[in-house]
Structure 1
Amino acid sequence: MENIPTLLTVVAAAFERPDGRWLMHKRPADKHHGGLWEFPGGKVESGETPVNALIREITEELGVAIDCANAVPIGFAESGSEGVIPPIVILLYRLNEWIGEPVALEGGAVGWFTPAQMARLDKPPLDCSLVDRLFH
């Protein structure tokens, strides 16, 4: 059997406003993929469920509160032939309700975009896949 490195599980949120705009987070310039736009979120830590990790990450990154009942799984993307070690899987959750106004607490920026605008943003490869799956 092939020796496969441990999988890195990441959660991300697709915030959708009633006007049809979606939130994207611009990564700080000094981080991996700095300056690129992504769905906000982060790594699932040992002992966390994906939804609990999503709640924690969104609070840390954006300063908003979410309820696990409002986090609806809508898709995933995984690294493949890019040679990313360890392999990454991003689990994407749709959020239509939250408490507070999202702000970039860890640097970078946040913005609200239409699906067409999101398609044109510079994004990491897995976020490109997530945007494609979300709207096609």
Structure 2
Amino acid sequence: MRLLLVVACALIDADGRVLIAQRPEGKELAGLWEFPGGKLDANERPEQALIRELFEELGITVKEPCLAPLTFASHAYEAFHLLMPLFVCRRWEGFVAAQEGQALKWVFPKTLRDYPMPPADAPLIPALIDLLG
């Protein structure tokens, strides 16, 4: 089975809310909510990929020391196995704005389960609740 490495970020605002993005129509798993991030390019480290993806998806600049690894998901989909480290980020430059037509929402960790997520994202929620209450 093919292993797919993707990276995700829990952006945390001053109120302790986490940013989630809704997958737009036309994409696989459209309508589900997820943490921003994406696939690694060739010869790219997870932190580099996340910095690039956050700029592409949200228009923000993140510096590597502001990314802290929190947990990871390991999920077997039908066609591949997904390994997804989740980083936490509390500091960035610029204003968070959807760059790819996706809906964005700031939510408290305890309400994350109210938003339908891909199977690989849901297991990340308890670590965020433990971290932020």
TM-score norm. by structure 2 comes to: 0.92
Equivalent residue number for residue 101 of structure 1: 95
Equivalent residue number for residue 125 of structure 1: 119
Q: Contact 1:37–1:123 at 8 Å: present in 2 too?
A: yes
One-letter code aligned to 1:104: A
Q: Given the alignment of the two structures, is residue 116 of structure 1 paired with residue 110 of structure 2, yes or no?
A: yes
Equivalent residue number for residue 69 of structure 1: 65
Q: Contact 1:35–1:108 at 8 Å: present in 2 too?
A: no
Equivalences for residues 1-136 of structure 1 within 5 A: 5-80=1-76, 83-136=77-130
How many residues are treated as equivalent by the alignment?
130
CA distance in 1, matches of 2:103, 2:97: 7
**RMSD across aligned positions (CA):** 1.2
State which structure, 1 or 2, has the greater radius of gyration over its C-alpha atoms.
1
One-letter code aligned to 1:17: D
CA apart distance, 1:84:
3.0
CA apart distance, 1:6:
3.2
One-letter code aligned to 1:76: F
CA distance in 1, matches of 2:114, 2:126: 11
Identical counterparts, % of pairs: 38
CA distance in 2, matches of 1:49, 1:77: 17
TM-score norm. by structure 1 comes to: 0.90
One-letter code aligned to 2:122: C
CA distance in 1, matches of 2:114, 2:78: 24
Q: Which has the higher strand share?
A: 2
CA distance in 1, matches of 2:64, 2:50: 9
One-letter code aligned to 2:56: E
CA distance in 2, matches of 1:133, 1:19: 18
CA distance in 2, matches of 1:132, 1:30: 30
Unaligned runs of 5+ in 1: none
CA distance in 2, matches of 1:10, 1:44: 6
